[in-house]
Structure 1
Amino acid sequence: MFEIVITPAIITLFSIIVISTIYLLTGFRHYVSSVSKRVTIDDGTSLPSDESDYPSVSIIIYSEDDAENLEPLIHQIFEQDYKSQFEVIVVNDGAVSATKDVIAKLDRTYPNLYMTFTPLQSRSLSRKKLAITLGIKASRYETVILTSGNCCIESKTWLKSMTRHFIQGKEIVIGYATSLIPEGAPNPWKRLHAFDQVRTAVEYLSWAIAGHPYRGNCYNLAYRRSVFFKNKGFSRALHLKYGDDDVFINEVSNSANTAIELSTASIVEVHDPYPQIAHRNAKIRYNYTAKSLRTSARRFFGSCSLAWWALLGSTIAISIVGFPSLIPLIASCVILLTTAIILMFTWRKTSRALGSRPLFVTVPWFMTYEPIYNFYYRIKGFFKRAGNLSWN
């Protein structure tokens, strides 16, 4: 039972186990941990003390049926510890009367609060792209920050955290927003959704940290107006209903002009009353627009999923091939368990750093299920691809 039996099949399978383990611990773990390390670095970096260094800012809020949350968000923005000039432009897309009532209530308190709206007859265009374009054209300042009416900004130094990179000459700042599930909201898949959210964030944030930015977060994104107009806005992606954040950033960003801001103070919370539906829609939209992105990130993280499957499959296979000897099974299980524990601790640290649910025991299962989950949404998106085109 404990005899050491060496056959070509066992050597091959054990080699796959070792190679997959090295790939996961040196590749996948490195990129996952780079995000939490960046949060720690940004938290430890002091904000510029000279208030006059910060640029004047136009904050554009995309508002769509979120008037209830819009009022506290506006209060949070105007209560920011920011001495330089800034204005808030709410682009009303859909809830015309409700949003208008909120602005009418607050514009006397905040003279730098403005509102514009997208024409209701603009059916053949991406309404989100049109709304952002109108907001940027209406802005007075060179630096613009984009967020949404269903967001919450807890820190009073959010604005400073996002704009400090413009002092250093950057043209684009990619921030992060975490989606929170309301208390009592029915969502049996909340742990899987939390894993998928962090998994998606790790993919594009770690790639940007490594010097290859290719997408942003529409709830917390900043860039210069000149970059927007130099690129002719969203003109190259007008056939897509979405992609105002990822496709546009993919076109204009590079390692020299783009900064990543992941300090705890800069992270925005997204409050959606229907998180399950919002997650589903986001998956379908991104899987379609991702075809327009120039990046190798998806291939790399796909290969990490393949390495994890190879590790699991080879462990199962070696237990069968090596039977009745238990030595191959014990050795491969020790490697698998050690790899899983290291990845679980790494993932938990990154999840906490990003303000998401701190998963631990379920991480290996979700890593196994993730490729199937993504494939399901690719199939689902294929049959709903017409809904991602602006001409519909």
Structure 2
Amino acid sequence: MPFHLSPVSWLLVLSVLVQLVYAAYYFWPFALRRPAETAEPAPQHEQAHPVSIIVAARNALEQLRYLMPELLQQDYAQFEVVLIDDRSDDDTGLYTQQLTQYYPNVRLVTIGSTPEGIAPKKYALTLGIKVARYPYLLFTDADCQPSSNQWLRHMARGFDGGADIVLGYGPYAEAEGLLNKLVRFETLLTGLQYLSFAERGQPYMGVGRNLAYTKATFMATKGFASHIRRLSGDDDLLVQDAVQLGRRASVVTAAEAQTISQAPDSWGQWWRQKRRHMSAGSRYRFSDRVRIGTFILANGLFYVGTLVAFVVPEPEWVALAAVWGLRTSTVVATYAQASRRLHDRQPLWLFPVLDAGYFFAYSLLTASLVLNRNPSRWK
């Protein structure tokens, strides 16, 4: 009897094949690679790579009380901290002014108002970059914590070899609850995508809580000029513009080079955050949109095809079980290896559930952006 599969089964097979191609070409080479990421002291080298750490903050006094000591204790030969007080109503400015009296490498930029029609965070970062003394810029957020006092050293070493951009990883702290697990899984998956693509020579984004680039790169892109009115994109759209100009990116994944953040503690907060981040995607280069979109679409069609397969007459259970078994084992193994490379261990047994939940949420987020293109404002 000739071998026959229904259109739904062929859809499932095709979607899994696409995912296997991504796993074989991008994800597995990245996940299995073990780069030498030592950070032995090299004072002469570090003197040649002085760094300005730039932090934009609004009403973030409590977060800064934890962050600033960690930044000031970084084990690096020459650096400064540029803190931008963006229209704060609390004592952020006063706290930083007190630090400047004791630490000459702390500088304060105070913003009283933002010009109409300009994204506030991009305006704040622009002013901070303009006053930065050093040619190498390292960015994080006020609610982050470097994972070690070697964070700056590892990230700065990413500029070795002539890189213009250094892409780091910023996981969220582990906490109780399903939301935290979903947020951490989504962060792992996003990190796996943009870091593995970059290692294949196809960088398309970075995350502002752990990102570095040269001041010359910022000047070459004319700063955030091409997207200055968009609320999001101070990180990924800057990388997009820089890559378009031929700037090179490197990847740093050492455990000591991470910044840890507290995950959103409510579904509404996470939803607004994701809408803001995803709204920048329409400005990506066409090739990047195709590359990312194909991966997302293949995963989405897999779940749609599975739902359809259960309701059609005489489901092909053997084919469905085989496809599901192949995909599930590949997904779990890939994410497990990626979590080791990124030093972000997560519960393996939940990966299939979180994967399905993420792509369901992604579909809803995409639909919401199509229906309402106004993302939430930053702070």
- Could you tell me the TM-score, scaled by structure 2's length? 0.86
Match of residue 57, structure 1, among 51, 69, 80: 51
**Percent of aligned pairs with the same amino acid:** 23
Aligned to 2:192: 202
One-letter amino acid matched to 2:228: L
Aligned to 1:320: 314
Given that residues 12 and 305 in structure 2 are in contact (C-alpha distance below 8 angstroms), is that contact kept between their aligned partners in structure 1? Answer: yes
One-letter amino acid matched to 2:183: H
Report whether the alignment pairs 1:169 with 2:138. Answer: no
Match of residue 358, structure 1, among 328, 338, 346: 346
Match of residue 98, structure 2, among 105, 109, 112: 105
Mapped to 2, the partners of 1:310 and 1:7 lie a distance apart of 24
2:96 is paired with a residue of what secondary structure? helix
Mapped to 2, the partners of 1:273 and 1:19 lie a distance apart of 36
Q: Decide which structure has the larger Cα Rg and report it.
A: 1
Residues 240-319 of structure 1 aligned to structure 2 (within 5 Å): 240-253=230-243, 257-271=248-262, 274=265, 276-294=267-285, 295=288, 296-306=290-300, 308-309=302-303, 312=306, 316=310
Report whether the alignment pairs 1:333 with 2:333. Answer: no
Given that residues 195 and 359 in structure 1 are in contact (C-alpha distance below 8 angstroms), is that contact kept between their aligned partners in structure 2? Answer: no
Mapped to 1, the partners of 2:161 and 2:128 lie a distance apart of 25
Mapped to 1, the partners of 2:282 and 2:18 lie a distance apart of 26
Q: CA deviation at 1:284?
A: 0.6
2:347 is paired with a residue of what secondary structure? coil
> Which protein, 1 or 2, shows the higher relative CO under an 8 Å CA cutoff with sep ≥ 6?
1
Aligned to 2:27: 32
Mapped to 2, the partners of 1:143 and 1:359 lie a distance apart of 37
Mapped to 2, the partners of 1:382 and 1:23 lie a distance apart of 26
1:87 is paired with a residue of what secondary structure? strand
Given that residues 173 and 222 in structure 1 are in contact (C-alpha distance below 8 angstroms), is that contact kept between their aligned partners in structure 2? Answer: yes
One-letter amino acid matched to 1:131: A
Mapped to 2, the partners of 1:144 and 1:175 lie a distance apart of 13
Report whether the alignment pairs 1:375 with 2:375. Answer: no
Q: Render the CA deviation track for 1:164-217: whole Å, top value 9, x for unaligned.
A: 122321111111111225x56xx5422222222222222222211211111111
Alpha-carbon distance change, 372 to 191 in structure 1, aligned in 2, over 3 angstroms = same
Q: CA deviation at 1:82?
A: 0.9
Task: Structure 1: state its 5+ residue gaps.
Answer: 323-328
Match of residue 108, structure 2, among 115, 119, 124: 115
Alpha-carbon distance change, 110 to 21 in structure 1, aligned in 2, over 3 angstroms = same
Aligned to 1:82: 76
Mapped to 2, the partners of 1:219 and 1:13 lie a distance apart of 42
One-letter amino acid matched to 1:161: H
Alpha-carbon distance change, 115 to 384 in structure 1, aligned in 2, over 3 angstroms = farther
Mapped to 1, the partners of 2:159 and 2:304 lie a distance apart of 44
Mapped to 2, the partners of 1:8 and 1:331 lie a distance apart of 10
Structure 1 range deviating more: 374-383 or 234-243: 374-383
Aligned to 2:337: 349
Q: Render the CA deviation track for 1:287-306: whole Å, top value 9, x for unaligned.
A: 22100011133223124314
Mapped to 2, the partners of 1:286 and 1:272 lie a distance apart of 15
Structure 1 range deviating more: 274-283 or 262-271: 274-283
Mapped to 2, the partners of 1:53 and 1:374 lie a distance apart of 44
One-letter amino acid matched to 2:31: S
Given that residues 204 and 297 in structure 1 are in contact (C-alpha distance below 8 angstroms), is that contact kept between their aligned partners in structure 2? Answer: no
Mapped to 2, the partners of 1:386 and 1:86 lie a distance apart of 38
2:101 is paired with a residue of what secondary structure? coil
- Could you tell me the TM-score, scaled by structure 1's length? 0.84
Task: Structure 2: state its 5+ residue gaps.
Answer: none
1:320 is paired with a residue of what secondary structure? coil
Q: CA deviation at 1:48?
A: 5.8
Mapped to 2, the partners of 1:319 and 1:387 lie a distance apart of 42
